[in-house]
Amino acid sequence: MSRKVFISVLGTGFYQPCKYATGAFTSSETRFIQEATLEYLQVGQWQNKDTLLMLLTEGAVSNNWSTDISRRFNPRSQKEESYTGLRQLLEQRQLPCRIEPLSIPDGKNTEEMWQIFKILFEALRNDDELYIDLTHSFRYLPMLVLVLSNYGRFLKNITVKHLSYGNYESRDVATNVASLIDLLPLVQLQEWTYAAANLLRNGDAQTLHDLCRRSLTPMLKDPEVRKATPSLTILRGYVNAVSDITQAMKGCRAIELTQGGPFARLRRFSQQLDQVVIQPMAPILQKIETSFHRFTPSADILNGYQSALWCFDHQMYQQSLTILHENIVSHVCQEASLDYQSASQRSLVSRALTIHSRQLPEAQWKVESPEEVAAIRQLLQVELLQQLSSTYLATTTLRNDYNHAGIRKNPATTASICHELAIRLDKIRTLFFPEEPC
């Protein structure tokens, strides 16, 4: 079971008391942003497995952490004043979770930077949920924490649930209330960017789908949030539509792709998505949509070729080859008014394509009846079949090599398969999409 982990760096300064507010929440008056943030996070309801990780330099321990602190010199008033260290304040709250101080160096150089990184990373466990306060993170430490969260997400499956900054400097002097600024959207934007990049480079929407489910499902369970933010439901539908398309590509679901249903759903949600929760996400979603703009959102056999091109561009070579090979048969079937879902009629078209490409005389045709001979003769007159027969034969050879894992005499290299497939796809593009760049 995952644990909740609060992470904060304690500084050395003489902190003045104030209240911190965000939304409807206002904290008790405190010198320490950590106390205010823990109030906001309702840490009193956490469990004993949960942990507060306090990163402390020697100066922070002596000035702001130690239970021995009772007075400190205030540089503003130039007087000694009553002052209680943060550890004592936390202990007085009798929190149910563990308090774990982590000694860190001052971070004066690269070596000490990596020491801090290692100390914090080793304190984290698999599946931890992080709640991070960056207020007193000195110099490069905010960047270190963000990089570490990505590193930990990959190696330990951690997630960042909260990221905030207490803006004491811009407090309202009259009320002595400062803002507790939510920085989590920056982490979320980073996650969406990574997920979108994975989709656009590799054709894999799983990271995007998982992120959407993890981020949006808790909010959509709240009826008030769902009503106030309808774009959340639309965003979920948009991501689901993208996921449906990529799953159809992976599974070579040619009928689904040529019928255009997934592309129609994507366009419908895209047209409704006039606002997003994190504004900088808009260009990311636009870039995702652009990768599918060549598809027709209705039944169109050319969607099959576009699918083969899309798969190739996203390094899904086996899917590209399979979809291209089968779509040629479907296309000729459609042109000849045959049922492209009929196994017998597909077989007939497949033989006609091979016969034309190899220029086989009738004596070498593998047919079972005079009716089949007549049907093939008629198919050989179809101009589309004549245009596609050489590509069909080439993809037959490539597909056999690919699907039999190269276990044959003189197997092709992966590079040669991709090269030949690229040539054939360029021919398809020239035939059916001459306006598109090769």
Report CA 46 to chain centroid distance, whole Å.
29
Q: pLDDT tens for residues 378-408?
A: 999 999 999 999 999 999 999 999 889 999 8
- Number of C-beta neighbours around residue 340 at 10 A: 21
**Which residues, at least 6 apart from 8, have a Cβ–Cβ distance to it below 8 Å?**
33, 34, 37, 52, 53, 54, 55, 132, 133, 135, 136
Residues 290 and 370 grouped into a single domain: no
Residues 200 and 148 grouped into a single domain: no
Among 156, 182, 208, the domain-final residue is 182
The count of domains in the chain is 3
Does residue 318 form part of some domain? Answer: yes
Q: For residues 140 and 24, what is the distance between their CA atoms, to the nearest angstrom? A: 32
What is the percent of the chain where pLDDT is above 70?
Answer: 98
Does residue 113 form part of some domain? Answer: yes
- In terms of pLDDT, which residue wins out, 274 or 363? 363
Token digits for 346?
Answer: 């597909």
Of 7-11, 39-43, 362-366, the one with minimum mean pLDDT is 362-366
Token digits for 429?
Answer: 């593009």
Q: pLDDT tens for residues 211-224?
A: 888 877 777 787 87
**Which residues, at least 6 apart from 16, have a Cβ–Cβ distance to it below 8 Å?**
31, 76, 168
What is the pLDDT, as a whole number, of residue 185?
Answer: 85
Residues 106 and 208 grouped into a single domain: no
Residues 192 and 172 grouped into a single domain: no
Residues 42 and 91 grouped into a single domain: yes
What is the pLDDT, as a whole number, of residue 139?
Answer: 74
Does residue 197 form part of some domain? Answer: yes
Q: Which CATH number covers residue 90?
A: 3.40.50.10640
6 DSSP β-pair partners: 52, 131
Q: pLDDT tens for residues 237-260?
A: 999 999 999 999 999 999 999 999
Q: For residues 98 and 162, what is the distance between their CA atoms, to the nearest angstrom? A: 18
Q: Is the dihedral of CA 20, 23, 26, 27 positive or negative?
A: negative
The answer to whether residues 332 and 379 touch, using CB atoms and an 8 Å cutoff, is yes
What is the pLDDT, as a whole number, of residue 438?
Answer: 56
Question: Does 230 have pLDDT greater than 80?
Answer: no
Question: Does 2 have pLDDT greater than 60?
Answer: yes
What is the pLDDT, as a whole number, of residue 234?
Answer: 86
Residues 230 and 249 grouped into a single domain: yes
Confidence of residue 166 (pLDDT cuts 50, 70, 90): very high
- In terms of pLDDT, which residue wins out, 59 or 285? 59
What is the pLDDT, as a whole number, of residue 222?
Answer: 77
Residues 30 and 152 grouped into a single domain: yes
159 DSSP β-pair partners: 129
The answer to whether residues 133 and 6 touch, using CB atoms and an 8 Å cutoff, is yes
Helices (H), 157-293: 184-202, 206-220, 223-228, 230-250, 254-259, 261-272, 281-290
Q: For residues 38 and 133, what is the distance between their CA atoms, to the nearest angstrom? A: 10
Residues 211 and 267 grouped into a single domain: yes
Q: pLDDT tens for residues 108-129?
A: 899 999 999 999 999 999 999 9
What is the pLDDT, as a whole number, of residue 284?
Answer: 84
Q: pLDDT tens for residues 298-311?
A: 999 999 999 999 99
Q: pLDDT tens for residues 313-325?
A: 999 999 999 999 9
What is the pLDDT, as a whole number, of residue 65?
Answer: 96
β 19-22/177-182 pair status? parallel
Q: For residues 96 and 98, what is the distance between their CA atoms, to the nearest angstrom? A: 7
Confidence of residue 66 (pLDDT cuts 50, 70, 90): very high
Q: What is the pTM of this model?
A: 0.81
Radius of gyration for the chain, computed over Cα atoms and rounded to the nearest angstrom: 31
Q: For residues 238 and 265, what is the distance between their CA atoms, to the nearest angstrom? A: 8
Question: Does 74 have pLDDT greater than 80?
Answer: yes
Whole domain around residue 54: which residue ranges? Answer: 4-182
Residues 209 and 221 grouped into a single domain: yes
Does residue 306 form part of some domain? Answer: no
Does residue 305 form part of some domain? Answer: no
The answer to whether residues 99 and 53 touch, using CB atoms and an 8 Å cutoff, is no
Q: For residues 311 and 327, what is the distance between their CA atoms, to the nearest angstrom? A: 14
Residues 239 and 195 grouped into a single domain: yes
Confidence of residue 372 (pLDDT cuts 50, 70, 90): very high
Does residue 92 form part of some domain? Answer: yes
The answer to whether residues 425 and 324 touch, using CB atoms and an 8 Å cutoff, is yes
Helices (H), 105-183: 110-123, 141-156
Q: Is the dihedral of CA 200, 206, 209, 213 positive or negative?
A: negative
Does residue 164 form part of some domain? Answer: yes
Residues 244 and 316 grouped into a single domain: no
Among 300, 322, 357, the domain-final residue is 300
What is the pLDDT, as a whole number, of residue 62?
Answer: 96
Average pLDDT value for residue range 69-87: 94
Report CA 362 to chain centroid distance, whole Å.
55
Average pLDDT value for residue range 320-341: 97
Does residue 76 form part of some domain? Answer: yes
Among 265, 300, 335, the domain-final residue is 300
Question: Does 205 have pLDDT greater than 70?
Answer: yes
Residues 131 and 117 grouped into a single domain: yes
The owner of tokens 């009929």 is 342
Confidence of residue 141 (pLDDT cuts 50, 70, 90): confident
Q: pLDDT tens for residues 409-432?
A: 889 999 999 999 999 999 999 999
Q: Which of 121, 89, 174, 94 is nearest to 5 (CA)?
A: 121
The overall average pLDDT reported for the chain is: 92
Q: For residues 331 and 328, what is the distance between their CA atoms, to the nearest angstrom? A: 5
Helices (H), 359-382: 370-379
